[in-house]
A and B are shown apart, each in its own frame.
Chain A
Amino acid sequence: MIEFRGVTKQFPDGTVAVAGLDLVIPPRKVTVFVGSSGSGKTTILRMINRMVDPSAGQILIDGVDIATREPVALRRSIGYVMQNSGLLPHRTVVDNIATVPLLRGEKKREARARARELMQVVGLDASLAERYPAQLSGGQQQRVGVARGLAVDPNVLLMDEPFGAVDPLVRAELQTELKRLQSELDKTVVFVTHDIDEAFLLGDQVVLFKPGGVIGQAGTPRELLENPADDFVAGFIDAGRPRSILR
């Protein structure tokens, strides 16, 4: 379980990204942060692995205040997948996946063997193992990113708009794949997106943010759809609905 207690983030230039956020992220579920740009959703995500430190308040993972944990060690214990995959361009697919285990001091042979297993788990052909990221398609790169996020078998997986830069067909494929993976792995996933459909498809819990990191509504997709808290939430959900211009 991840818990935000009165978390505020003010940047040096004075912008307040989040003010007094209280939020509980349940374990072994997918929680999706959705909101337009400037809603602070990415900042909030990055506070979980201390890429951003809060100005005030506490964040607890399984009851432990993460401010007491060494940032680099904390990050190695949490999976992280980002847009455009964030892979290391100078390392092959297996080495990218094995990166975090190697940082944690695992033996090279074991780390690479496990990386090859993970390629299978995320649906990557074994023949791609020695390729460099630039030699893969966008969808394949994203799969490598997911495999890397899972490499140390973390309890928590952070996903920062991971499917934002791939075309709709590939995105649908990756979404289905993630749902399948999650049903097998049961991670605590925190997923950031600006796409409300993606949020409803993937989220067990959806947290819709208003600008400035204010929670518009948090609940299951059904709750948000059937009982939107206010006009902002209803409007955000409605804006995502495709409507025909040929009426």
Chain B
Amino acid sequence: MTWLQENWRQLVDYGLAHVWLSIPPIVIGFLVSLPFGWLANRYRVSRGVLLTLGGILYAIPSLPLFVLLPSLIGTKILDPLNVEVALTIYAFALMLRTTADGLASVDGDVKLSASAIGFGGWRRFVEVELPLAGPVLLAGLRVVSVSTVSLVTIGAVIGVNSLGFFFLDGYQRAFFSPVWFGMAGTLLIALVFDGVLVLLGRLLMPWTRSRRGPRARKYGAAQARVAVTSR
């Protein structure tokens, strides 16, 4: 506890840095996955190629990627951009399959009827397919969010400070307080992000909330039976 009293300022600063480092990869990775997810469903060949590529990208170990990126994209070795680009790649790789599956999960009859009443291709994608893929996209986004918040910590190894700094600090000094608090902070951020995503999902997808359709109907039928038999 004394450690916390002496270091809370730094903990908060690095915690905020952690938050800012986490947001761009999640958002950009998600956005970039949309056109590629669409493309993956469009043709059989593109599906195989893209999903395999996604798998391979995610398999690249993070530390060497952080180290190698400067030479690939021309950034300085300590530039936080390296971490951002690397994490965006992971977020994209992780999100791609979910996006493809989410878009594929949209009911064919609904797509057919949307076209039949006059949705053009682009509007049908944006106004019908994307929102209906929403629940699956959200599930994927929640995984990406947690994974990104956790991966940001590795950036500390190449000097991009986040709560990961405390892991390194504790490890080097064989002193566990900073590790515990760093971990608690990371979990807290992951939880808050997850909560925000769930809340956004509820706001943006109100139709998924009150699924009382079938149950209400069954209930109604039961009521009707009661009414008939009690007569």
Residues from chain A with a CB closer than 8 A to the CB of B112 are: 51, 82, 86
Q: Which of B117, B119, B132 is most buried by chain A, counting CB atoms within 10 A of its CB?
A: B117
- Considering only CB atoms, which chain A residue lies closest to B113 in the complex? A86
Q: What 17 new A-B contacts, CB under 8 Å, besides A51-B112, A80-B117?
A: A51-B116, A72-B120, A75-B118, A82-B109, A82-B112, A82-B113, A86-B110, A86-B114, A87-B110, A100-B118, A103-B118, A103-B123, A132-B206, A135-B212, A135-B216, A136-B213, A137-B220
Is B10 interfacial (CB 8 A cutoff)? no
Residue pair A49, B116 in contact (C-beta under 8 Å): yes
Chain A, residues 97-114, CB within 8 Å of chain B (1/0): the string is 001100110000000000
CB distance B117 to A100 under 8 Å?
A: yes
On whether the beta carbons of B210 and A135 are closer than 8 Å, the reply is: yes
- In angstroms, Cα B115 to Cα A48, docked, is 14
Residues of B within 8 A of A135 (CB): 210, 212-213, 216
Quote the shortest CB–CB distance from B127 to chain A (angstroms).
Answer: 8
Give the CA-CA distance A135 to B205 in the complex, in Å: 15
- Taking a contact as CB atoms under 8 Å apart, the answer to whether B131 and A90 are in contact is yes
Residue B138 is within 8 A (CB to CB) of chain A in the complex: no
CA distance A112 to B114 in the complex (A): 18
Main secondary structure on chain B at its contact with chain A?
helix
A84 within 8 A of B: yes
List 24 contacting pairs A-B, 8 Å CB cutoff, sorted by A: A49-B116, A51-B112, A76-B117, A80-B116, A82-B113, A82-B116, A86-B109, A86-B110, A86-B114, A87-B113, A88-B110, A88-B114, A89-B107, A89-B132, A91-B207, A103-B117, A103-B123, A104-B118, A132-B213, A134-B211, A135-B210, A136-B213, A137-B217, A137-B220
**Interface residue A148 (Cβ < 8 Å from any Cβ of B):** yes
Whether the pair B131, A132 counts as a contact (CB closer than 8 A) is no
B128 at the interface (CB under 8 A from A): yes
Chain B stretch 9-45: residues in CB contact (< 8 A) with chain A: none
Q: How far is the CA of A90 from the CA of B204 in the complex (A)?
A: 10
Distance (Å) between the CB of A187 and the closest chain B CB?
16
A49 to B113, CA, bound (A): 12
Tell me the smallest distance from the CB of B217 to a CB of chain A, in Å: 6
In the bound complex, how far is the Cα of B112 from the Cα of A87, in angstroms?
Answer: 11
Question: Interface size of B by Cβ–Cβ distance < 8 Å?
Answer: 28
Given A90-B205, A132-B207, A135-B212, check contact A72 B118 (CB 8 Å): yes
Within 8 A of B (CB), among A61-84: 72-73, 75-76, 80, 82-84
CB nearest to A136 among chain B residues: B213
Which residues in A have some Cβ–Cβ distance to B below 8 Å? 46, 49, 51, 72-73, 75-76, 80, 82-84, 86-91, 99-100, 103-104, 132-137, 148
**Residue among A87, A90, A137 having the largest count of chain B Cβ atoms under 10 Å:** A90
Q: Distance in Å from the Cβ of B72 to the closest Cβ of chain A? A: 41
A176 to B24 CA separation, bound complex (whole angstroms) = 58
Question: Which residues from chain A contact B110 at a C-beta distance below 8 Å?
Answer: 86-89
Which of A51, A72, A91, A100 counts the most chain B CB atoms within 10 A? A72
> What distance in Å separates the Cβ of B144 from its nearest Cβ neighbour in chain A?
23
Contacts of B119 in A (CB 8 A): 72, 103
Known: A82-B109, A86-B110, A89-B132. A134 touches B116 (CB 8 A): no
Contacts of B210 in A (CB 8 A): 132, 135
Interface string of B79-123 (1 = CB under 8 A from A): 000000000000000000000000000010110111111111001
Is there contact, CB below 8 Å, between A75 and B213? no
Shortest Cβ gap from A197 to chain B (Å): 25
CA distance A91 to B113 in the complex (A): 14
Flag B186-212 by CB within 8 Å of A: 1 or 0 each: 000000000000000000011100111
Give chain A nearest CB distance to B93 CB in angstroms. 28
